Structure 1
Amino acid sequence: MTVTTASGSGPGRKPSASAAADAPTTSDFETLAAQRGGVGPLGESRLTAWSLTSLLVSLYVINYADKAVLGIIAKPLREELGLSASQIGLVGSLFFLTFTIGGFFAGLLNRWMTLRWSLVLLGLCWAAAMLPMIAVAGFAVLLISRLFLGLAEGPSSALLHTAAYAWHPPARRALPGALLAGSASISKIAIAPLLTVITVSFGWRWALFALAAAGVVWAVVWLSVWRPGPYIASGKTKKVDDSEKGEDSPADAEPATPWIKIFLAPTFITGALLVMSVYALVSVVLTWLPSYFEDGLGYSQLQSGSMFAFPSIVGLALMLLSSVTSDRMITKGASPRVLRIVVPSVGVLISGVMLFLLPSISTPIICVLILSVGYGFAAMVFPLFNAAVAEICPPRQTAGTLGVFLAIMAIGGLVAPYATGVIVDAAATPAEGYATAFQVLGLVASVCAVLTLVFANPVRDRKRLRPHAVLTA
C-alpha cells in the first residue's frame, strides 16, 4: 500500500491524475517481488519479513503461556495454599487490571525506545515475574507477581502488532495479525499440555521455571536478529531525509491526526466494546477452563489440561481461514467493512447463541464441543478488528492507537475471571456455575456484535481521519 500526501508534487506527494492511473497495483508488486526473488514493493525481503514475524509470534506464545499457567496450576495452588475459587478468580482479574493499565504505555514505550529494546525488556520482565512464587509461595506473593506480570504484558500486544505491521503492507496485515492473535491458540495447543505434564510430574513450580527460562532464551535470539521494517517507523530509529525514504515509505509522509478524533471514531468505539466482550471470554478460558473440565464436567487433571487446547484448535483454524481470505479478497477490491467488520461480528453472534445454550446441555463431551466451536467463532474478531483499527490512523500513530484499543479490550479480562469465581462459588454445582458464566459472556458479546454491525465502518472513518492520505492497495 502506498501513502501519499494530498497536496503538492514530488516524492511522497499526491500524484497527478495520469500518474494515479498508471500507479502499480498489488499484483504488479507481487510480480516484481517474484522477479526479484521475494523482494517486496519497498525493497524488503519477504523471507526476512516472515522470519521476524515468526519470532514475534513465538514471544506472544510465551506471553499467553504466562497467562494460561494460572489456569493449569489453579487446582494444586488452591490445595497447597488453601485458596477459594473466588480468590483464584480475584488474582486472575487483578492481573488484567495492571494489564489494562500497562496497555496505555505502549505508545510511550514506542517513542522512548526502539522495538528491539522495548520488547526484550518486556520479555525479561515476564520471566522475572515467574520467579517469586518458586522461592516463596503464598497468596500475597501470587497476587503481587501476577500484578507485575500484567503491567509488563500490557504494552506487548500493541508493540508486537506494530513490529509485525512494520514488515507487511496494510492490505496484507490480517494474516500476520491472525498469527499473533493465534498465539493464544498455539500456546494452549502446544504449550499448555506440556505445562500440564510438567505440573503433574514435577509440581507447579517447575512449570513456572520453564516459562522463565523460555523468556530468557527468546530475548537472546531477538537481540541477535531483529531489525526494523519499512512500513512503520519505530521509536528512536534513525531519521532520514525525505529524499532517502522514497515515495513509497508511509511511515512519516502523513500528518498526525488528533488522538481524540481517533478514539471517538465509531469503528474504534464499537470495535473496542466487541473485542472487550470477547476478551472476557478469553480471560475466563485462560483462568477457569481446566477447572471447568475437571470440577464441572468430571474429567481428570491430565485430561483437562490436554483438552485446554480444543477451543484453541478451532479458534486458530477459523482465524487463519478468515484472515487469509480477507487479505486476498481485499487486495482484489472486496469491501474491507464486509471482511473485517461484518464477518467477525457475525461470528461473535454465532458464538453468543452457542454459549447461551450451554446451561441446557448435560452431556460433558457436547459441552466441550459447544464451548470449543463457540470460542473459535468469537476468536476471529481479534486479527480482523486489529487490522481495521490500524487502518483508520496514520502509520506513525499505530502503536499508540492499538495500545489504547487493546488496553480497553483488556477491561473484559479485569471483570470476567473474578465474576466467574463468584458465580461458581454461589452456584449449586460447579458445572452449573461455569455454564451460567459462559451464558452471560455469550449474551454480552452478542449485544456488542450488533453494535459493530450497525456503526463500525473503517473505510468511512479512514477517509474522515486521514484526509491527507491517498491509499492504494
Structure 2
Amino acid sequence: MPAPPESRRRAWGLTSLLVFLTVINWGDKAVLGIIAQPLSKELGLTASQIGLVGSLFFLTFTIGGFFSGAIARITTLRWALAVLALLWSAAMLPMVITASFAVLVVSRMLLGLAEGPSGPLTHTAAFSWHPPAKRGLPGALLAGSASLAKIAVAPALAFVTVTWGWRAAVVCMAVLGVLWCVLWLPLWSQGPYIRSGKRREEAGAGAAETDEPAVPWIRIFRTRTFISCTMLVMAIYAIVAVVLTWLPSYFEVGLGYSRLQAGSMFAFPSIAGLILMLILSSSGDRLTSRGATSRLIRIIVPSVGVLVSGMIMVFLPYVSAPALAVAIVSVGYGFLASGYPLIIATISEICPPRQTAGTLGVFMAMMGIGGLIGPYVTGRIVDAADTPAAGYATAFQAFGLVAVLFAFGTLIFANPERDKEIVWKATSRT
C-alpha cells in the first residue's frame, strides 16, 4: 500500500535536510584542498606533509566509522547527528587561532574522528523514510552531496580564500555546521522502515526491537557481496580522497590555472558525477521496482562504471593539453562516483533492518582505508616526480588501475540476492 502524500513529502523534506548536512560534511573535507597552497606557503609545508595530513584525517575517519553501530544503539539519531555536526564546527577552529603543522594535524584528525560515524548514521536516518527498493535515489542524493559541495561550496570557499584568506574559509564552514543544528533539532523524526537507537521520543513501544542483533555480525561481513564491494569502495574512495586533497593543487600547480580558476574548476568532476549518479540511481529504483535484480542494477552497472573510469585515468600521464587533462579527470571521476550510492544501497539490502547502522558503519569505515592511503601516496609521488603535473597524473593512473582490478572482482563475486538469502535465513533461525 503506497504511503500517504504527506508522509512522502516529510520523507523527502527530511532527506533534504540530511543532504544539507552531508554537503557541510564534504565541504569540511574539501576545505583542505582549497586552502592547501596558501597554507603550504604560510607554514612551509611540502606536498608529502599535506598528503600526510589528508591521510591522517582518513585514519581517524576510519576509526570513527566503527563506532556508528554503538552510537545508533545508545542514543537517538537526532542528538547523535547534532553533536557530530557541532564537533565538526569546533574541530578546525584552533587553526584560526594558532596555525602550525602540529595544530593542523590534530585538528584534521579530530575532524576525521567526528565525521567517521556520520555517513552510516545519515544513511540510516534517510533510509528509515524509504523502503529498500526505493533507496537508490536518496542514497544518490546523499552521495551526490560530495558533488554539491564541490559545485557550490568549493568555488565559494575559493573566493573567500582569495579575498579574505584561508582562515575565513575555515570559519565559514564552522558557521554552517551550527546553522544546520538549529534547523535539525526541532524538525527531525525517524521514519518507519528502520528502527535505530534508543528512540525514547521517536518510537516508544518499538524500542524493544533495537536490542541485540538477530544475526551474528560475522555472517554479514563474510558474504562475498560485502567483501568484494568493500574492496571496490576502498578503491573508489582512494580516488575521491585524492581529488579532495589534491585536485585544486593539480589544476593550479600542475596545469597552470589560477588559484580562483582551480577552486572553481574543482566543480567540473562533481558535475559529471552528480548527473550520472542521479540518472543511474533514479532509473535503478524504477527498474528494481519492476523486477530487475539488484545484481544487475546495483552491482554490474556501478562496476562497469568503475571499469570505464579506471581505463580513462590510465591515459592521463600521456596527455599534455591542460583542458583535455581536466576533461579526463572530470569524466573519469563522474563514472567512478556514480556507482557509489548503488553499492551503499546494496549493503543496506543484505542486512536485517535493525543492523543497518552497524553494517554501514563497518562498511564505510573500511572504505575509509582508501582515503587513508590515497592522499599520502599521491604526495610522495608528486615530490618524487620530475614535475608536479607528471606526479599528479601518475597518481591518478595508479589508482585507476587498482579500481579496475577491484571492479572485476565485484563483477565476479558479488550477488546481493544470494547473500541476502543466506543472511536472512540465519535471522529466521535465531
TM-score range, shorter chain: over 0.9
**2:214 aligned with 1:256:** yes
> Match for residue 297 of structure 1?
255
Report the alpha carbon displacement of residue 116 of structure 1 after superposing the two structures with TM: 0.3
Aligned to 2:425, what secondary structure does the other structure show? coil
1:404-450 CA distance string (max 9 Å, x none)? 00000010000110000000000000010000000001000000000
Asked if residue 325 in structure 1 is aligned to residue 287 in structure 2, the reply is no
Kindly provide the amino acid, as one letter, of the partner of residue 412 in structure 2.
V
- Asked if residue 57 in structure 1 is aligned to residue 27 in structure 2, the reply is no
The runs of at least 4 consecutive aligned structure 1 residues that moved more than 6 Å come to: 251-255
Residue of structure 1 in register with 2:9 after alignment? 47
CA distance 1:202–1:164, change in 2 (3 Å): same
What percent of counterpart residues are identical?
62
Q: Which residue of 1 aligns with 2:304?
A: 346
Please show how residues 436-451 of structure 1 align to structure 2 within 5 Å. Answer: 436-451=394-409
Amino acid of the residue matched to residue 459 of structure 1?
E
The letter for the 2-side match of 1:133 is M
1:130 Cα shift? Answer: 2.1
User: CA RMSD, aligned part only?
Assistant: 1.6
Separation in 2 of the partners of 1:128 and 1:240? Answer: 33
Query: 2:359 matched to which residue of 1?
Result: 401
Instruction: Give the Å deviation of 1:380.
Output: 1.8
The amino acid of 2:338's aligned partner reads M
Question: What amino acid does structure 2 have at the position aligned with 1:142?
Answer: L
Letter in 2 for 1:261: R
Amino acid across the alignment from 1:58: F
Residue by residue over 1:34-69, the C-alpha shift from the partner in whole angstroms, topping out at 9 and shown as x without a partner, is: xx4x15xxxxx0110000000000000000000000
Is 1:127 the equivalent of 2:89?
yes
Residues 1:183 and 2:145 aligned together: yes
Say if 1:266 and 1:286 are closer, same or farther in 2 by CA, change over 3 A: same
Give the distance between the partners of 1:264 and 1:336, measured in 2 at CA.
19
Equivalent pair of 2:73/2:210 in contact (CA under 8 Å)? no
Change beyond 3 A, Cα 1:255–1:87: closer
Post-superposition shift, 1:367? 0.5
Match of 1:377 among 322, 335, 350: 335
Structure 2 CA distance for aligned equivalents of residues 322 and 257 of structure 1: 32
Secondary structure of residue in 2 paired with 1:232: coil
Partner deviation per Cα, 1:347-374 (whole Å, 9 max, x = no partner)? 0000010000111111110010011000
Alignment of 1:1-150 (within 5 A): 29-30=1-2, 33=3, 36=4, 38=5, 45-150=7-112
User: Which 5+ residue runs of structure 2 have no aligned equivalent?
Assistant: none
Contact kept, 8 Å, 1:254 with 1:468, in 2: the verdict is no
User: CA–CA distance in 1 between the matches of 2:212 and 2:259?
Assistant: 54
For the Cα contact (< 8 Å) 1:279–1:409, is it kept in 2?
yes
Instruction: Tell me what 1:196 maps to.
Output: 158
Structure-1-length-normalised TM-score: 0.88
Report the equivalent of 2:118. 156
Name which of 135, 152, 159 aligns with 1:173. 135
SS at match of 1:137: coil
1:271-324, Cα deviation, whole Å (9 max, x unpaired): 000000000000000000000001111111010000000000000011101000
Greater fraction helix: 2
Letter of the 2:122 counterpart: L
Structure 1 residue 381, shift from structure 2 partner: 2.3
The structure number with the bigger radius of gyration is 1
Q: Is the CA contact 1:254–1:469 (under 8 Å) kept in the aligned structure 2? A: no
CA contact (8 A) 2:214 2:427 kept: no
Given residue 72 of structure 2, which amino acid in structure 1 is its aligned partner?
N
In structure 2, what is the equivalent of residue 456 of structure 1?
A: 414
Q: Secondary structure at the match of 1:467?
A: helix
Long gaps (5+) in structure 1: 1-28, 40-44, 246-250
TM-score normalised according to structure 2 size: 0.97
1:218 to 2:176 alignment: no
Contact 1:134 1:205 in 2 (8 A): yes
- Picking from 267, 278, 282, the partner of 2:240 is 282
Determine if contact 2:215/2:427 at 8 Å carries over to the other structure: no
Give the number of aligned pairs. 426
